[in-house]
Structure 1
């Protein structure tokens, strides 16, 4: 039984991985299109078209059943006065009549549905241009407008587009089209609540292509200490501080993970006799001016 459960789990995992290859996300564009007035009055959704056909079919069925019921009453009255065998005559007529009535009702339904047609555009707008407004999150102009000649088969004249730039960059990064580079700067200021140095980040997006050797840097290959590509960057052994505590770098070889083990508080470390005055001045100056060696973003 356990082997069967394991086999089912493996098959389910394989199917999920296979389906993920063909999973595509929609474009991160949010748009609002205003159709032309001539087209807007005659637009009809699939739901509206289905409801109109469904209503016409039900109405045709009801009318046909009402007509057949009146005819059925007259036939029964004629059969009842036909003689001594009137009961057998009524029974035989009912069997044949039921099949015929259902056929006639179905034909009336199909005929009514076929006669219902969708609405067609009344005419074409006289606008010669299409206007597209791009919503800006920053800047003096909240919307930037663009215009182009209107195609003959187009049914709209105004469209607003809001581009989710973060989603676009994330999609390009996942597909390996761009690389994201971060640069951190020590502002030299201290946060009043945490008493830690304030570090700002600046991000740069670069296209990955053969023109720039896919952003390949021989310098980083020989200067950056790293393990396999699925492992994290190796931290140099030593002591690290964020202005609050002092940590010692560690590395877990079983799964290739970096870590930090707290040694003591920063003020206690500075006040200890093991740290000389010259070293204290260098540490304080580095916390105030130098770029950070390790950055953890949450």
Structure 2
């Protein structure tokens, strides 16, 4: 990973004198009802606090800021610096999540092909305590087919626990993604297929699996709406606590609608439902659950 980062920095600093692009900033604020705050599959929240004091049904508030600066813009290449901040809090639960992310994508274009390498560093905080640090390297290859796009992504993430509750998550995550985007003037369709492998120091929470996702986006007279569906299959390592190897099948459906109220402002609503079906459902551990989040928010761009 260190060699990858040094190579990337060397490449992206080669044309710094051509810095011409302004800073782009996006602010997102939303508030909604979450009927299952502490998901069994959530790496961050599953170990948080005293379970006897948790309120599954709660009002959540989310605040996000994204800043991007394209410091390299040449005929066959471009590079940017991106900073992301995300904060989530709840009314009844004494819980606050903060995510800080820095990423450095570099793209190179050859004919109808785009090659992109990205380094990202992400820090997760839970109730003002840093719990996990991620260092990620990604490589994307995209081919343009007229207005359409087809591509693949390879990613490797090194996870470092910063809190003893998360020592079991020390390790790496790898992923391979294939995607197809069909673009038209007023709508687009995207299809994704992903393979993932989470190799942690705690072998009983290590997982392998795949998921498929399809989304349809439509734009019409100041409105943008998007409908997405996803199926995810997760296989866990064999655990002596159970008579069979745990396998989860998860179905998700998301709908969002944006209203353009100003050149730099959107009002939006969002609804997402997730249903997890597991073969482990005994008295002590039942991994069958659902989550429904309905929210309204505003997005500002500068």
Q: Which has the larger radius of gyration?
A: 1
TM-score, structure 2 normalization: 0.15
Q: Larger relative CO (CA 8 A, sep 6+): 1 or 2?
A: 1
TM-score (norm 1): 0.15
Q: Which has the higher strand share?
A: 2
